Amino acid sequence: MTDKLPLEGKIALVTGASRGIGRACALALAKAGAHVIATARTQGGLEDLDDEIKAATGKSATLVPLDLANGQGLDQLGFAIHQRHGHLDLLVHAGAILGGLTPVAHIDTGSWDKIVATNLTAVYRLIRSTEPLLKAAPEARAIFLTTGRVARPKAFWGAYGATKAGMEHLVRTWSDEIENTKVRAVLVDPGAMRTKMRAEAMPGEDPETLPDPSEIGPLIVELAQAELAVPAATVLFSAP
């Protein structure tokens, strides 16, 4: 008799799943037994993820090519999950854009609108779309990836930091609103990792000095397990 996987039978939605931290989370959850609904803008990246999940588990993921700035698409995603599964056990929101590093006074309005739509408005739409699904699960977890830039502002990071700060406020407010339900929300700060976004922000940095995104997988799987108490403070990832 084989041991039951910790997330066997669970339904998990992962945003930003085509690369970086989102991809690592999706793969870790699939290996832990969850059926992963993976969404990202890049079809090819999602297909590569699906190939890796199949190779590791023998099962397929559900792939949903979707731009987070598409609010109607997020609404439709929630409806589709309801029709197919009736509930959602786990949400991992890793999708975001840096949007370039620019002095606040020089951010053009088009870039600002895109960053706000992707990093902040999408969180509101995602919470609104998935809350009924999460409440329909026996116990559910919603994990949101944040950044240390919220607490430590730095020149040129204004748009990214401001939208992530807004995301944290939304998540903490929502968490307070649902405290009497079986849904628990948590913020996770992964720190600096070997991702495309990090390379875009810090082009002179040696990526080999940073943890690979795959190293955060065990933490996400741990937080996803319903019997665990979810910390009220932001969870800080520490590489082993």
Q: What local confidence, expressed as pLDDT, does residue 11 receive? A: 98
pLDDT, one tens digit per residue, over 97-123 is: 999 999 999 999 999 999 999 999 999
Q: What local confidence, expressed as pLDDT, does residue 135 receive? A: 98
Quick one: 143 exposed, middle or buried, by C-beta within 10 A (0-12, 13-18, 19+)?
buried
**Architecture label for domain 11-236:** 3-Layer(aba) Sandwich (3.40)
What is the C-alpha to C-alpha distance for residues 9 and 33, in angstroms, rounded to an integer? 7
Task: Find out whether 90 and 34 touch, Cβ atoms under 8 Å.
Answer: yes
Q: In what order do the strands lie in the sheet with 235-236?
A: 62-65, 35-40, 11-15, 90-93, 140-145, 183-189, 235-236
Q: What local confidence, expressed as pLDDT, does residue 1 receive? A: 46
Each domain of the chain, given as residue ranges in start order, spans: 11-236
Q: What is the mean pLDDT of each run of 10 residues along the chain (240 residues)?
A: 84 97 97 98 96 97 97 96 98 96 96 97 98 97 95 95 96 92 93 86 84 93 76 78
What is the C-alpha to C-alpha distance for residues 136 and 166, in angstroms, rounded to an integer? 27
Q: What local confidence, expressed as pLDDT, does residue 181 receive? A: 93
- Torsions phi, psi of 38, nearest 5? -105, 125
The pTM of the whole model exceeds 0.85: yes
Mean pLDDT score of the chain: 93
